[in-house]
Structure 1
Amino acid sequence: MSTTAAPVARAAGPAVGARGASPARGRRRGSRGNRPRGHGTRTLLGAVAVAVALVWAFPVYWMVNSALLSNVQLQSLTPTFTPFGGSLDNFTAVISGSSFLTALRVSLLVSLVTVAAALVLAFLSALAISRFRFRGRKSFIVAVLVVQMLPAEGLFIAQYKLVGSLNLLNTVLGVSIIYIAAVVPFTIWMLRGFVAGVPIELEEAAMVDGLGRTQAFLRITLPLLAPGLVASGVYAFLQAWNEFTVALVLMQTADMQTLPIWLRTFLQSSAARETDWGQVMAASTLIAVPVIVFFLLVQSRMTSGLVAGAVKG
């Protein structure tokens, strides 16, 4: 009896194993079947991303395209979507104007002064908040937040009277002081996060190896904080470069206009002279393109610096 049951059991064994293996095969087949579906989803998301990017980039393309066309083409009822047959006459007219180089010089000076002063003040403040415990620390942090909540428009009268009392109206220093005060609070918060992300134990280890506190900070901590300084500098530069309302209030003479204020002069039309939209687009391109190129260059360096700092840490 037992001898006959054994072959039956052995014969049933492979059958049971085969049944047990079939769900795994089914799952493997199912997973293979899901791959095309996942690939199709990724393709659809990629197509949506490309469409969104094209919508975002179209205004920039239209600005550059219009800068290369004549006023006759721009005023035509049939839009011209390609710059074929265009010229650089609008750019030549804008650059050869007497006020473009002056406005460019003023904008560069204001932006560079704002970036330098904001980085120094914000960097020292971020170090003090992150590395030291002192009386009034929490009050200082709350004050920084409150300053960020104040609307800029509500401060125009006070800022104008302040700058006027210092005899700094229509000067680079006067408008730079206002820009620095507006940029520093947010820059402090940006740098505070970077400073808090660098362990103080790195400096202590360097001091154990024989370096002084200043040397340890300059050789160990400062290189790791370079990406944060670059990011904060980009933010301060863009804010100072593109600001319009404060410059409109404080810079009232023609020889002390920043580029956004200078661009407004192209939109002043009268019954005898219509707005030259080709030159408007050319001027807008001259203002925007250098900033975009600068931002892209600094962004690549900032990203590489972040990765290098993470590997070294």
Structure 2
Amino acid sequence: MTATRGRRPVRWLLGTLAVVLALVWVFPIYWMISSAFLPTNRLRTAEPTFFPTDGTLANFRRVFADPDFYSSFKVSLGVTVLTLVVAILFAFVAALAVSRFRFRGRKSFVVTILVVQMIPAEGLFISQYRMLDDWNLVNSVLGLSIVYVAAVLPFTIWMLRGFVGGIPIELEEAAMVDGLSRTGAFFRITFPLLAPGLVASGVYGFLQAWNEYTLALVVMTDPGERTLPLWLQGLVEANRATDWGVVMAGATLIAVPVIVFFLFVQKRLSAGLVSGAVKG
């Protein structure tokens, strides 16, 4: 009883600390959303407004009235979908080969993945741009998707490798004893258990492709082929006062697809990797 009472203050302290950290993390997001509903004159005052009781939708109307917003949205959506599909497909095949098969150069391949992951992205900008320029892929969805796949793939392979390796191969062997082929055993037994890993890798790839700025700044030099982060940066005026209400409204709209995507896949993310493998 004494030990239980002694733990209560510690739990209360840790719980309070967790709440404080959560509030610190959430506050910038709340400030962005609340600022998106404030008129320009309220944003420029020295006194902060924590609760936009007299908010307006004028900032969102100005965003939707900008034709560049829709073109940038199409570019970002195309790049993100293409990057996600290609990266997951290649990473899945590579992770399966590394985890399930033994071949010459396997360890070297794994080490290469780690080494590539440690190379700073800025060190590859010039070579990547020249490569895409030689292929006539500068200012194109395909060109930007190629460099995004190259940036996302190493970590995605490493992540999926852990998921594939965590599923006992005995499950496939048991299915093969029951009459399934190796391919059939994999797709009917192992593949469904990889859903959390595929979703986690997909979330990583989605966030990287949707929010990335520096590579897009190098590759997409045409103002008509900008991604949403580049479009948002273009709202910040260098020679006159920036309309921060529109900037905050645009940032809020850019964050909406990320939130929707995460809500859609959160059940798979929280599901156990092999929670149903030993049932029945």
TM-score of the two chains, using structure 1 as the length reference = 0.86
Which deviates more from structure 2 when the two are superposed, residues 84-93 or residues 36-45?
A: 36-45
In the aligned structure 1, how far is the partner of 2:278 from the partner of 2:182? Answer: 23
**Does the 8 Å contact 2:43/2:245 carry over to 1?**
yes
List structure 1 segments (4+ residues) > 6 angstroms apart after TM superposition: none
Aligned positions of 1:31-42 closer than 5 A: 31=1, 33-42=2-11
Could you tell me which residue of structure 1 aligns to residue 227 of structure 2?
A: 258
* Structure 1 residue 141, shift from structure 2 partner: 1.1
Aligned positions of 1:273-292 closer than 5 A: 273-292=240-259
Structure with the higher fraction of residues in helix conformation: 1
In the aligned structure 1, how far is the partner of 2:95 from the partner of 2:238? Answer: 48
The one-letter code matched in structure 1 to 2:246 is Q
Which deviates more from structure 2 when the two are superposed, residues 294-303 or residues 51-60?
A: 294-303
* Structure 1 residue 92, shift from structure 2 partner: 1.1
In the aligned structure 2, how far is the partner of 1:259 from the partner of 1:122? Answer: 26
* Structure 1 residue 67, shift from structure 2 partner: 0.5
Paired residue secondary structure (1:268): coil
**Does the 8 Å contact 1:119/1:233 carry over to 2?**
yes
What do residues 98-146 of structure 1 show as CA deviations (whole Å, max 9, x unaligned)?
Answer: 1111111110110110110001111111111111111111111111111
TM-score of the two chains, using structure 2 as the length reference = 0.95
In the aligned structure 2, how far is the partner of 1:113 from the partner of 1:107? Answer: 10
Structure 2 unpaired stretches of 5+: none
The one-letter code matched in structure 2 to 1:84 is T
What do residues 255-283 of structure 1 show as CA deviations (whole Å, max 9, x unaligned)?
Answer: 2110111101111232xx41000001111
**Does the 8 Å contact 2:129/2:219 carry over to 1?**
yes
The one-letter code matched in structure 2 to 1:151 is P
- Rate the CA distance shift 1:103–1:207 in 2: closer, same or farther, 3 A: same
The one-letter code matched in structure 1 to 2:258 is V
In the aligned structure 2, how far is the partner of 1:224 from the partner of 1:309? Answer: 8
In the aligned structure 2, how far is the partner of 1:116 from the partner of 1:151? Answer: 24
Could you tell me which residue of structure 1 aligns to residue 36 of structure 2?
A: 67
Could you tell me which residue of structure 1 aligns to residue 265 of structure 2?
A: 298
Structure 1 unpaired stretches of 5+: 1-30
* Structure 1 residue 310, shift from structure 2 partner: 5.6
Could you tell me which residue of structure 2 aligns to residue 240 of structure 1?
A: 209
* Structure 1 residue 302, shift from structure 2 partner: 2.1
Could you tell me which residue of structure 1 aligns to residue 193 of structure 2?
A: 224
Could you tell me which residue of structure 2 aligns to residue 57 of structure 1?
A: 26
**Does the 8 Å contact 2:193/2:274 carry over to 1?**
no
Q: Paired residues, what number?
A: 280
Could you tell me which residue of structure 2 aligns to residue 151 of structure 1?
A: 120
**Does the 8 Å contact 1:226/1:305 carry over to 2?**
no
What do residues 164-218 of structure 1 show as CA deviations (whole Å, max 9, x unaligned)?
Answer: 1001111100010000011111111001001111111111111111111211111
- Rate the CA distance shift 1:83–1:60 in 2: closer, same or farther, 3 A: same
* Structure 1 residue 85, shift from structure 2 partner: 0.5
Taking only aligned residues, the RMSD between alpha carbons, in angstroms, comes to 1.5
What do residues 23-80 of structure 1 show as CA deviations (whole Å, max 9, x unaligned)?
Answer: xxxxxxxx3x454442233222212211111111111110011100011101111111
In the aligned structure 2, how far is the partner of 1:160 from the partner of 1:206? Answer: 49
* Structure 1 residue 311, shift from structure 2 partner: 5.3
In the aligned structure 2, how far is the partner of 1:60 from the partner of 1:310? Answer: 39
Aligned positions of 1:62-211 closer than 5 A: 62-211=31-180
- Rate the CA distance shift 1:312–1:176 in 2: closer, same or farther, 3 A: farther
In the aligned structure 2, how far is the partner of 1:50 from the partner of 1:312? Answer: 37
**Does the 8 Å contact 2:167/2:274 carry over to 1?**
no
In the aligned structure 1, how far is the partner of 2:229 from the partner of 2:140? Answer: 16
